[in-house]
Amino acid sequence: MLHLENVEQLSGSKADQFEILRSREQTLEKQIKRAIRSKEKNLEEIRKSDRGLTKTCIVAVVGYTNAGKTTFIQSLTKAEDVKGEDRLFATLDTSLHPTFLPSRNRIFLADTIGFISNLPIQLFASFSATLSHVVNADIIIHVIDVSHLDCVQQRIEVLETLKNLKIDPTTHRIIEVGNKVDRIENLEQVHHTFQFSKKVEFPPPNLMLISCQTGLGFMDLIQSLDKHVMDITQSRMRRIKLRLNSPGIEYLYANKLVGKKPVASECDNFLVFDVVMNDNQFEKFQAFLGKELKLKKSTD
């Protein structure tokens, strides 16, 4: 594939160069359309797989090219199959990566194409089409390379692109993350840098500072993300006390609702679970226990 940074290296007449670029653009558009159809089908399957138990949140990870989005997703999901490349449009489609938060809420992280400045107008429609997961995302994580000299302008470029996609950066649920702080000596200077943004419509960010290399700040970020997801799914922590032979114990584990090890009651006849459920999940759990109790009574 021909990348934008290779355009100037083309040899031949201007007519030949134009024809090559036009051919490459058509190829790019075809690849994007195939990717979109595939990802839309994938997203539909994800929504259906929930079976009405709870809402699976889609968390779109956006950022200027080379901000560290792919490494960020690797750090959150511990997935080795998530790979990034140091070039424009290395990621043409949106890849989805599942992971569980401490609350045991499952989310899908969507790795998106890197944003760039001065995107050619003829490519914007195709570029925008790859960001369907961003438009439909429940949460957007904006990864910013705060070690870059132009980080303020890069942030503005991304926010303006989101605005062009009809996403209001001031009202949408967006978490802005300052990545690569391991390259900066004075962290206080990071927040100071963003105070001088010339775009009044984009106020200074409430940055969560992290380093994908050292892991700095990740626990705070995960906790913040978990709170957002719990709000969206309308789930909350519930304390459930079950007998040692209760079928409910197997149910909780089978549905991946157990986030931490249960504790025994004082009498040692019960296990106490702290689990996160929404009302729908809890009603289904109660219904399951009711059926099991009825079956047990009928066989006694």
Asked if residue 168 and residue 271 are part of one domain, the reply reads: no
Same domain, 55 and 186: yes
Range(s) of the domain holding residue 105: 4-232
Asked whether residue 213 falls in the same domain as residue 244, the answer is no
Under the banding of pLDDT at 50, 70 and 90, the label for residue 5 is very low
> Of the candidates 211, 232, 253, which is a domain's last residue?
232
pLDDT tens for 179-237 read 999 999 888 888 788 876 666 567 778 899 999 999 999 999 999 999 999 999 888 99
Residue 118 token pair:
């001065």
Residues 178, 287, single domain; the answer is no
CA distances from 224 to 109, 190, 200, 218 (A): 15, 20, 26, 10
Residues in the chain, total: 300
Q: Distance of CA 88 to CAs 85, 127, 140, 141, 170, Å?
A: 8, 12, 21, 20, 28
State whether 177 and 213 are in the same domain: yes
Tell how far CA 224 is from the center of its chain. 13
Q: Do both 150 and 244 map to the same domain?
A: no
Q: Is the pLDDT assigned to residue 86 strictly greater than 70?
A: no
- C-alpha distances (whole Å) from 74 to each of 69, 81, 86 are 9, 8, 16
Q: What is the CATH number of the domain that holds 47?
A: 3.40.50.300
Specify the CATH number for the domain of residue 282.
3.30.70
Say yes or no: 209 and 276 in one domain: no
Ranking 14-18, 54-58, 138-142, 160-164 by mean pLDDT, the lowest is 14-18
List, for residues 97-146, the tens digit of each pLDDT value: 888 898 888 899 988 776 655 555 445 555 565 677 788 889 999 999 99
DSSP 298: H
Report field, pTM of the whole predicted structure over 0.75: no
State the DSSP string of 57-75: EEEEEEEBTTSSHHHHHHH
Least confident of 17-21, 144-148, 272-276: 17-21
Phi, psi of 62 (to 5 degrees): -120, 165
9 and 121 belong to one structural domain: yes
Residues 157 and 277 in one domain: no
**141 and 182 inside one domain:** yes
Residue with tokens 């511990």: 78
